[in-house]
Structure 1
């Protein structure tokens, strides 16, 4: 590796194990600045930028620093003498290169179509395949296996890396995928170095990707995540505001709607699919059973949409609204930094050592059903529709093997959009 950073790290072996005391309030800017200084031995201003957002960088520098202290510096300082911290400099510079390249790739993606069309195509196929798999159970069309339902699902919509008879295939697929990704992401000199490439593959594959797939495919984890997102979406201020403030807030909302409908996202790629044809709409229809409950209203809505989608102005208006919602409300620096912060809290609860204690796992069926019920109650508070089939939606995440197949399909979708070169590989 060639040196890219200009800072020198202060040598202090006690810094790596020194408990954090007399700290400002956790996650405040002052707290993060102090944590970063203890982790790297320099102030954050001396570190390379990971992204174009200082808010995201604050969280990323803290998370990466904790990772390096736990999994790299702990053994490296026992096998090598590196007074100036050149090895740490190289690792941080390499990570900065990867994150900046990843950001540039993400800026080229049409996130509106990815999140509201492509993603819901995957989710829709998942729900349909699970319904069909349940229908086949006990019939001559069912696969004769101990895990009959799971085998039926995998034959209908399974990811090729998930096989009941060859569980090692998932590990093999992950290794091949990570190798391909590192070849595209690493600079030429690091990609040609076996040591650098193996280090990056180990960090990304074993410490990140494998843990994400294993931990987030448990049914109770997914239900808890759905509950947390639903509760965050349903929070409303309970204090009653004066009439003038309500009127002023209403005026601002009208202004936002006008801005959402008229602003132009010229820098964003033109959608390949009409907004009215996005898969999110039929997915919601099946979830709410709108076409079955209100057949006449469904005909009116679909006919009107079919007529309006012929208008370029209408399509432009819908595209602007969705782009504003996605880019100005969802994919913001605050949202991304909150996600990184949540990841840090899970992996390093006290910002000192990696959390090696076992996760809470429901021990009884009653505990599991209670978690599922809490997620259903939280969803019902958000959508409050009497015909919303939340039971069917939450039940689709019942089995870990099926969740793994779904997770890999979603990861493949995301990676293909971020790294289009994978299609040719």
Structure 2
């Protein structure tokens, strides 16, 4: 297994390790120049180690507590014999990615999973840590291979075109399945209609009742599907000699197929109440970021101010105060001037933005010709759709029922979209000025790799508070789930100004507004239908990362690797 160990990383720049800082006092401020093989994530930083348990931070999400968790779980038997100070973690454990900040968060996930789900039974069999060490090496090999493949994936197309298309299919199938065309008392099974519109072998047959024979058969098929999916991934990513180790591949396959896909994607994540709760929390976070508290101080009115207010009442123009009208006009003029200046500046600098046709690499470097795509004589890359034409726009329109509630606005947006692509100049076409601006904004605000460690940290604190398993969540009753859906609708309405709510929903009745938003959220009210969407998302991501799985079956891949 020594060949799985990659060559050493670059000199670290982190100041968490006092040992590395004292040994290299001049390297902490060295700027790393970008190269054609620049890593996918941010510049690598050395994971600090050698921290003492006496000075551990009280916050379990801090770097010191995370490092202590990793050392205690994965490194207790490595690297410390005959040393006055503990060895750094990145010298003991194999790197998972090209960024040590990302590695720190990923190893925290691995440490918690191994401690809670592997050590509980493996420690009763033998104290030998070699088995866990081999599992960590296999996971590290897979993550490094996935990072290399992730560089070649067109993330814009995946996030803005292919994934929204799956959501659009779910919306149309769910609404068609739950729209009854037969008068009562004739009833139809909405799940059977949905499954017929969007068939998935892993979710066949449609479950009949809680513990019926069809339900058990469906669960068995789903289990086999998850195992085959994970085995196919391991057959592509693992080296040949590791595929021969049935014990290791079985354990790693069970961890991913049952714990992550089974309990996570097919279990909790498909429950309606959990999806509504997640949407509600995201809406609350957005509301907290866009809202600014206004501090009002009491003002004592003097007799002069009272006389001034009385005189201002007499000086009105068509019922509006002169002073208020003046400041309103001045404010709108300032906003218009600022918007015009931003537009002119953006258009002037658009020519210097990187081209979408040069490469698929996130840094937009055109130096690597091995990843560039062939172009036609017109300069358009095959299958490279303009952002204005991607499915994200039509899916948002279908989700909000824009065609039904505001058909004039939907037609206007469609006209503007068509004009930007097929109109004079084709400003919204692939790699044109509007397309470059949108692509630049997406890479700056959405695909910013520096946010990945923070995102992983947030996910870890949500799934494993205090770096341990959270107490089992009480499944809400049907009445509590409906109450949670109502709270989610209120959180979404809080993001929209009151005038926009009234204009879009066509009513000023608060209860009717909440009911309309709940009707939109109702598309996630069936866990069986949600599984179709979530498993389709997993399949799409896997096929984009490993195109071999879209061309060959699992048995064929294993035969090819082991022959």
* TM-score with structure 2 setting the length: 0.63
CA distance in 2, matches of 1:67, 1:158: 33
What is the Cα deviation at residue 149 of structure 1?
A: 1.5
CA distance in 2, matches of 1:195, 1:138: 55
Alpha-carbon distance change, 253 to 161 in structure 1, aligned in 2, over 3 angstroms: farther
CA distance in 1, matches of 2:465, 2:61: 12
Trace 1:174-189 onto structure 2 (pairs within 5 A).
174-189=226-241
Any conservation in 1 of the 2:283–2:495 contact (CA below 8 Å)? yes
Any conservation in 2 of the 1:3–1:89 contact (CA below 8 Å)? no
What is the Cα deviation at residue 77 of structure 1?
A: 4.1
Alpha-carbon distance change, 3 to 402 in structure 1, aligned in 2, over 3 angstroms: same
- Per the alignment, residue 392 of structure 2 pairs with 280
What is the Cα deviation at residue 159 of structure 1?
A: 2.4
What is the Cα deviation at residue 278 of structure 1?
A: 1.1
Q: Which of 470, 481, 491 matches 1:368?
A: 481
What is the Cα deviation at residue 220 of structure 1?
A: 0.5
- Per the alignment, residue 446 of structure 2 pairs with 330
- Per the alignment, residue 250 of structure 2 pairs with 198
What is the Cα deviation at residue 68 of structure 1?
A: 1.9
Any conservation in 1 of the 2:94–2:140 contact (CA below 8 Å)? yes
CA distance in 2, matches of 1:364, 1:290: 30
Name which of structure 1's ranges 284-293 and 249-258 shifts more when overlaid on structure 2: 249-258
Trace 1:177-256 onto structure 2 (pairs within 5 A).
177-212=229-264, 213-234=266-287, 235-236=289-290, 238=292
Q: Which of 472, 476, 479 matches 1:358?
A: 472
- Per the alignment, residue 267 of structure 1 pairs with 359
What is the Cα deviation at residue 275 of structure 1?
A: 2.0
Check if 1:149 corresponds to 2:196.
no
CA distance in 2, matches of 1:337, 1:363: 36
Check if 1:51 corresponds to 2:97.
yes
Any conservation in 1 of the 2:164–2:392 contact (CA below 8 Å)? yes
Check if 1:309 corresponds to 2:361.
no
What is the Cα deviation at residue 184 of structure 1?
A: 0.7
What is the Cα deviation at residue 139 of structure 1?
A: 6.0
What is the Cα deviation at residue 257 of structure 1?
A: 8.5
Any conservation in 2 of the 1:120–1:283 contact (CA below 8 Å)? yes
- Per the alignment, residue 15 of structure 1 pairs with none
Alpha-carbon distance change, 55 to 153 in structure 1, aligned in 2, over 3 angstroms: same
Any conservation in 2 of the 1:133–1:153 contact (CA below 8 Å)? yes
Check if 1:377 corresponds to 2:478.
no
Q: Which of 146, 153, 162 matches 1:118?
A: 162
Task: Describe the superposition over 1:305-358 as per-residue Cα deviations: whole angstroms up to 9, x where unpaired.
Answer: 32321445533234334433443322334543344334433543332x434x42
Name which of structure 1's ranges 35-44 and 413-422 shifts more when overlaid on structure 2: 35-44
- Per the alignment, residue 528 of structure 2 pairs with 401
What is the Cα deviation at residue 81 of structure 1?
A: 5.0
Any conservation in 1 of the 2:60–2:466 contact (CA below 8 Å)? no
What is the Cα deviation at residue 188 of structure 1?
A: 1.4
Alpha-carbon distance change, 336 to 257 in structure 1, aligned in 2, over 3 angstroms: farther
What is the Cα deviation at residue 216 of structure 1?
A: 0.3
Runs of at least 5 residues in structure 1 that lack an aligned partner in the other structure? 7-18
Task: Describe the superposition over 1:9-34 as per-residue Cα deviations: whole angstroms up to 9, x where unpaired.
Answer: xxxxxxxxxx9995342322222223
CA distance in 2, matches of 1:48, 1:354: 25
- Per the alignment, residue 10 of structure 1 pairs with none
Name the structure, 1 or 2, with higher relative contact order (CA <8 Å, separation 6+).
1
CA distance in 2, matches of 1:250, 1:301: 20
Any conservation in 1 of the 2:135–2:252 contact (CA below 8 Å)? no
Alpha-carbon distance change, 81 to 378 in structure 1, aligned in 2, over 3 angstroms: closer
- Per the alignment, residue 320 of structure 1 pairs with 436
Alpha-carbon distance change, 51 to 318 in structure 1, aligned in 2, over 3 angstroms: farther
What is the Cα deviation at residue 70 of structure 1?
A: 2.6
What is the Cα deviation at residue 99 of structure 1?
A: 0.9
Name which of structure 1's ranges 259-268 and 164-173 shifts more when overlaid on structure 2: 259-268
- Per the alignment, residue 14 of structure 1 pairs with none
Check if 1:94 corresponds to 2:133.
no
What is the Cα deviation at residue 2 of structure 1?
A: 5.2
Name which of structure 1's ranges 374-383 and 317-326 shifts more when overlaid on structure 2: 317-326
- Per the alignment, residue 349 of structure 1 pairs with 465
Trace 1:76-95 onto structure 2 (pairs within 5 A).
76-80=122-126, 82=128, 85-95=129-139
CA distance in 2, matches of 1:73, 1:261: 56
Check if 1:36 corresponds to 2:108.
no
Any conservation in 1 of the 2:427–2:435 contact (CA below 8 Å)? no
- Per the alignment, residue 149 of structure 2 pairs with 105
Alpha-carbon distance change, 87 to 131 in structure 1, aligned in 2, over 3 angstroms: closer
SS at 1:136 equivalent: coil
The structure with the larger Rg is: 2
Aligned residues: CA RMSD: 3.4
CA distance in 1, matches of 2:341, 2:420: 28
What is the Cα deviation at residue 396 of structure 1?
A: 0.5
CA distance in 2, matches of 1:240, 1:363: 39
Runs of at least 5 residues in structure 2 that lack an aligned partner in the other structure? 7-52, 77-86, 207-213, 296-330, 361-372, 374-380, 506-515, 553-563
Any conservation in 1 of the 2:524–2:530 contact (CA below 8 Å)? yes
What is the Cα deviation at residue 261 of structure 1?
A: 7.8
